[in-house]
Structure 1
Amino acid sequence: MSDPQHQERACSAALVRAFSFLGKRWNGMILGTLLDGPAGFAELRRAVGKIHDSVLSERLAELSAAGLVERTVDPGPPVTVSYQLTEKGQALLPALRELSAWAEANLPE
């Protein structure tokens, strides 16, 4: 019989998955940029900062594969591509806003 006071602690597997994915460099920032609505590739690149086009493209593909971001092509002319949060991505809004508020109040610039 194990002693309840000495049980091993373990982080929730779901929390580990969430931080492994959302904590991956740029993913959270891309999602945060899309909080205010759809954005094109160049707009995302400018908003996120010093991200290479290939990395942004890779992250957008990952976010899309996870069902958080949707890519929409408008045939134009001119052809335009935009990215927006899916319903699943929008479900992150409260958590992202809370994290942002917490960081504003508790993390030095």
Structure 2
Amino acid sequence: MAEHSEQTCKQVGGAITRVFELLGKRWTGLIVAVLMQQSVYFSDLRRAIPGISERMLSDRLTELAAAGLLVREVDEGPPLRVSYRLTEAGRALGPALKELGLWAEMYLPEGGGRC
């Protein structure tokens, strides 16, 4: 039988809460994973993530930029193009994402969580 006391039931730490508040949102992890490979133009990023709307992609990119994980760069045109690249902080997520991918391959069945 499990013990139920203050010591055994601690609150989730602030750092992990902040991580999941940002990266736990739908699409955010996929965006970071695509950008892990290289800088990407908005339209290419949208094509790389099937099912994401332009509005949702724009919102998530804004959140990631505000968190300091990516940089938005405008390439003067014509045509005017916007690209995104990860900052040092964003690239530092690489090992964690790789480990999560390995974990998923081992413990999550393919297609188990897809709509």
Q: Compute the TM-score of the two structures, normalised by the length of structure 2.
A: 0.85
User: Are 1:13 and 2:29 matched, yes or no?
Assistant: no
Aligned to 1:81: 82
Indicate the SS of the match to 2:109. coil
Deviation at 1:78, TM superposition (A): 2.4
Structure 1 residues 22-101: aligned runs within 5 Å: 22-101=23-102
Cα root mean square deviation, aligned: 1.4
Alpha-carbon deviations, 1:69-108, whole Å to 9, x = none?
1111110332221111011111111111111111122111
The one-letter code of the counterpart of 1:65 is A
Aligned length: 105
Indicate the SS of the match to 2:68. coil
Indicate the SS of the match to 2:16. helix
Distance 2:40 2:105 in 1: 24
Stretches of structure 2 lacking an aligned partner (at least 5 in a row): 111-115
Distance 2:12 2:62 in 1: 28
The one-letter code of the counterpart of 2:104 is A
Distance 2:48 2:74 in 1: 20
Distance 2:45 2:91 in 1: 17
Distance 1:36 1:75 in 2: 23
- Higher helix proportion (structure 1 or 2): 1
Distance 1:55 1:78 in 2: 23
Give 4+ residue runs of structure 1 displaced > 2 Å after superposition: none
Stretches of structure 1 lacking an aligned partner (at least 5 in a row): none
